[in-house]
Homo-oligomer: A and B are copies of this chain.
Amino acid sequence: MSKKYLFTPGPTPVPERVSLAMAAPILHHRTKEFESIFAEVRQDLQWIFQTKSDALMFASSGTGAFEGAIASFFSPGDKVISINGGKFGERWTHIGKAYGLNVDEVKVEWGKAVDPAEIRKRLDADPAIKGVFVVASETSTGVANPVRELAELTRNRNTLILVDAITALGVWSIPCDEWGLDVVVTGSQKAFMLPPGLGMAAVSAKAWKSAETAKCPRYYFDYVREKKSQEKNTTAYTPAISLIIGLRESLRMMKEEGLENVFARHDRLARACRAGVKGLGLKLFADEAASSSALTTVVAPEGVDADKIRSHVNKKYGVNFADGQDHLKGKVFRIAHIGYYDRMDVLLALGALEMTLKDLGWNVKLGAGVTAAQAILSE
C-alpha cells in the first residue's frame, strides 16, 4: 500500500471539507440562496485581494481570466510591456499579440526577477505605453517578481499594471489597493485549494476607466458585463456553481486561520523547503532573494535526470513533484507548498526526496534535508 501525495503547483490538494461542500446537491444559480453564497464569496475575495473594489469570478482557468483582462482593458495597437521570465510571462505576451496589441516583450533570464529600473527606463522613454503585464509568482521557475515596485512606476502614469497572481494570491500579501494594482488575476487550483475551473480577478477604478474605450473583441470574458451582473450577486452566464460553493468553504478556512497566519505559514514552509534542499547539498534554481513561497524549484544533481528523480519518487513513494518546462526539462523539478500544506508535508516531501536520491545512487546523507527543515519548522 502506498498513499498518493500531490506536490504540484496546481492543482493542489483539496481539503476534505471543501470536497464535501462541493458534493452537496447542486443549487440553481438564479436563486436567493445562491445569491447569498455569491455575496459572501465576493466579500471574502475583497478581503483576500485587500481591495474595496470589485472582485470578479469567471468559469475558466486563470488563463481565461487574464485573457479577459487584456481584451476588456485594451485596444488593438495599444503598446504594452510584457515581462517574460518563464512560461507564464510568455503566455501573456502571446495573448497580447493574439489580440493585436503592440507588445514590447522584456525577456528576463529564467530564475531571476525583473529589474524595475529596466521597466522604468522603457516607461520613461515612451509615455504611450498603456500597460505592463507581470507575473507575481512565475510557476515555471519559482521566482517572485517585484510587483510593488513595478506598481510604483505605473500608478502615476496613464499605464495599467496587470498582475498574474495565479500562484501568488493567498501565499503572500498582495494588497491591491495599497499598492495600486489595476488587474490582479488568480485561479482556484492554487492557494484557494480547489479543483481548477474558476478564475478570479480584482479590478481598480483606473482599469474600469480604461474599459470605456477598450476595443478588443470580447463577450464571455467581458469584465464590464460581469461587473454589472456580479454587483447584483449573479453572473452574466452560468457560473461554476460547485466551485463557487467550494470557494466559500476554502475562504472560510482561510479566514479562520487569519490572513497573516496564512502568509506566515507559506513563508515558513517555503523557507523550510529551501533549507532542506540546501541541507541535502542540492541547488535552488530561483535566485533566493526573489523566491516565490508557492514552490521550490530544485536543480537536479549533476549527471542525474530530474525526470528520473520525479519518476522514482512517484513510483516508489507515491510523491508527485512537478517537472521542469521547456529548456529546464530534465534539469529541475518543482516542489509545491501552496494551499493545503502544513509542516509535516514539507518533511514528507524532503524525506521522500532523500530516499530517492539514495536509491538512485547519489551520495546523500539521509535525514540531512529533513533536519535542516525541522530547524525552521520548529521555530
Contact = CB atoms under 8 A, between A and B. Distances in A.
> Majority SS of interface residues in chain A?
loop
A37 to B, nearest CB: 14
24 contacts: A6-B28, A14-B26, A19-B23, A22-B195, A22-B242, A26-B189, A59-B61, A59-B64, A60-B64, A61-B220, A61-B239, A61-B240, A62-B238, A63-B219, A63-B220, A63-B238, A95-B220, A99-B219, A195-B241, A195-B242, A195-B243, A196-B238, A197-B197, A197-B240
Interface string A181-216: 000000101000001111000000000000000001
A120 interface: no
A125 interface: no
How many copies of this kind of chain does the complex include? 2
Contacts of A217: 71, 98-100, 216-217
Interface in A338-379: none
A1 interface: no
B61 A31 contact: no
A25 B8 contact: no
Contacts of A19: 23
Contact of A31 (B10, B20, B239, B320): B320
A320 B238 CA distance: 17
A241 B11 contact: yes
A4 interface: yes
A66 to B, nearest CB: 9
A228 B5 CA distance: 30
Nearest to A239: B196
Given A13-B25, A99-B219, A197-B197, 17 more contacts: A4-B25, A19-B23, A26-B189, A26-B195, A60-B60, A60-B220, A61-B220, A61-B238, A63-B219, A63-B237, A195-B240, A195-B241, A196-B238, A196-B242, A197-B198, A197-B240, A197-B241
Interface in A1-59: 4, 6, 8, 10-14, 19-20, 22-23, 25-31, 59
A226 interface: no
A271 interface: no
A323 interface: yes
B189 A238 contact: yes
A306 to B, nearest CB: 14
A67 interface: yes
Contacts of A98: 217-219
Contacts of A25: 4, 6, 13-14
Contacts of A62: 238
B28 A11 contact: yes
A252 interface: no
Nearest to A320: B28
A157 interface: no
A155 interface: no
Contacts of A6: 25-28
Interface string A87-116: 000000011001110000000000000000
A216 B216 CA distance: 10
Contacts of A240: 61, 195-197, 240
Contacts of A63: 219-220, 237-238
A235 B101 CA distance: 26
